[in-house]
Structure 1
């Protein structure tokens, strides 16, 4: 995950420097970060589908419970480690999405008639 974030962020910075700006300019911050370019993604089903991806982002952390007995001072270190891993995962996803957003024109890519909830994760 770390290497992927470094590659994405580095690639995004290179593209921004070579093009002199983002692939899709941010005109209105509130609208740019809260409204999808494809109106079909604003439905309740689409939002629920996105939440499925959010849950899978943290999938696997529950398996760490089996390692508590092998951890020194587990009462203090295990909850702290779990919280740190959640923050690292969240930052990793946010940086990766931001880096992809630096070199992708989402209005053009996401508004295509052939883009749907089944294939949007591959874009």
Structure 2
């Protein structure tokens, strides 16, 4: 970061801003002014076979604000569904077979799909 305690990352709004412009910035983990305060996630499993569908993905969260409003799990433009918040974990289900296009690439038999979490509050 810049070292400015008033400037940093407004977590649920996904923006770099001044603290007073970040909604509810006084609440825990909503505003990060140092790298050590940034959100971190690990996903289990971290990869699945292209032939597996509806797989439970468990995301361990670190430095995440309170998420009682809920979250959506979005897999690029393939699917979006409610995530389940359980303590410090978020559970998402990978897309169903009908939502995943047949994977035929020149790069081999893999395809990287980006998972995005969105707070229902924002």
TM-score, with structure 1 as normaliser: 0.20
Task: Looking at secondary structure, tell me which structure has more helix per residue.
Answer: 1
Which of the two has higher C-alpha Rg? Answer: 1
Q: Under a length normalisation based on structure 2, what TM-score does the superposition of the two structures give?
A: 0.20
More RCO (CA 8 Å, sep 6+): 1
